[in-house]
Amino acid sequence: MVEVHPDPDRALSDARQQLDFQSFARLHSRVQALLSSLSPPIDQEAR
């Protein structure tokens, strides 16, 4: 689970573990790149 908030410093709880939208977008891009490099694709393994 990843917590995302537009302004983590002003979040009512767990501010220190939240990502802002820009940081989440970077993380998402990196995870997508990692997943696309796996063989077979992770979503097809369970089938």
Alpha helices per DSSP H over the chain: 21-37, 42-45
Q: Which residue has the tokens 């694709």?
A: 41
Chain segment 21-36, per-residue pLDDT in tens: 999 999 999 999 988 8
Measured distance CA(4)–CA(22) in Å, rounded: 10
Question: Is this model's pTM higher than 0.75 or not?
Answer: no
Cβ neighbours of residue 42 closer than 8 Å, sequence gap 6 or more = 35
Select the more confidently predicted residue: 3 or 47: 3
